Structure 1
Amino acid sequence: MTLLTRRLTLCAALALAAAPAWSADTAEQAAIRQLLRHNFDKPEARLTVDPIVVQGAHAVAGWTQGERGGRAVLRRDGKGWQIIVCGGEGLRQAQALADTGMPAADAQALAKALAAAEARLPASHRAKFATFEGLMRMDAHGGHPAH
């Protein structure tokens, strides 16, 4: 390999590494994004859903709406995806994810994938996920159950 070829190869590799890692949603991610937007998007307060990580029949999606945000834990059943819990920082931890009823192995994998996916976001975006305080269990229709 000549010096020029090596330099061109290095330049191409650096350009690819520096390019945004935008990729099309998987079918699962698209369904989750659509579900969250259907339930919570408002004309005056658009919902942004990113990142979405999926492991088996479970997923975690980060969302922002204006200056606030949080995370949603979802479970897939025979009818599709269902929101089971909304929360903030706690839903980054494998133990908190396991406490929602998912297998420990899925919780570990989701926590790791979520950390990697969120690391690619700007710090200002990630900070919004922490504005959701506590945990809120959701009903089968994606609503907040009566207290």
Structure 2
Amino acid sequence: MKIPALMVLLATLSSGVLADTSTDQQRIEQMMRHTWERPDAPLHVGPVTVEGEHAVAGWTQGERGGRALLKRNSMGWRVVLCAGDALLDPATLHSAGLTPEAAASLSKTVAQAESTQAPERVKQFALFKGVMQVDKDAAHQGH
């Protein structure tokens, strides 16, 4: 009889983690849409990959697209960098403040999440040229 109770507890804990990630994903999408969406140019955000205090969100707006690196602080989620394929590179993520281990893990998770997207959408993420620092303070907190 203890096994079912343990299974219920584990299921509850697991769903709490998924709910937190889902909530973070929704908050990130809402923040980005509120910041950059225009009536004549809807912003489509996703996938949003959250790991700890960092996230990478793919986005498209019309013919344009890219990826955003975000960091959570006491005020919520803030965009640190915008880039294209550079945000798939662990070296870029590390230079933005992630530990080497976290950078490698996030890079792998983003690639997995993007593998579920239509190839045309993923190609749009690569259209953002260069790396644009958006919030330099968020990138270097804790350094």
Q: TM-score, normalised by structure 2?
A: 0.78
Deviations 1:33-80 (A, max 9, x none): 011101101111100001000111000000000111000000001111
The structure with more radius of gyration: 1
Structure 2 distance, partners of 1:57, 1:39, is: 20
Structure 1 distance, partners of 2:108, 2:77, is: 21
Task: Tell me which of 131, 134, 139 is aligned to 1:135.
Answer: 131
Q: CA deviation at 1:81?
A: 0.6
What SS is found at the alignment partner of 1:125? helix
- Find the counterpart in structure 1 of residue 113 from structure 2: 117
Dislocated runs of 4+, deviation >3 Å: none
Q: CA deviation at 1:139?
A: 3.1
Task: Tell me which of 75, 98, 105 is aligned to 1:79.
Answer: 75
Task: Identify the range of structure 1 (100-109 vs 66-75) with the bigger mean alpha-carbon deviation.
Answer: 100-109
Structure 1 residue runs without a partner (length 5+): 1-22, 141-147
Structure 1 vs Structure 2 CA RMSD: 2.0
What SS is found at the alignment partner of 1:26? helix
Task: Tell me which of 41, 63, 66 is aligned to 1:70.
Answer: 66
Q: CA deviation at 1:108?
A: 1.1
Count of residues paired in the alignment: 120
Task: Tell me which of 39, 42, 49 is aligned to 1:43.
Answer: 39
Structure 1 distance, partners of 2:135, 2:70, is: 12
- Find the counterpart in structure 2 of residue 126 from structure 1: 122
Q: TM-score, normalised by structure 1?
A: 0.76
Written as runs of structure 1 = structure 2, the 5 A alignment for 1:82-101 is 82-101=78-97
Structure 2 residue runs without a partner (length 5+): 1-17, 137-143
Question: What is the aligned-residue identity percentage?
Answer: 42
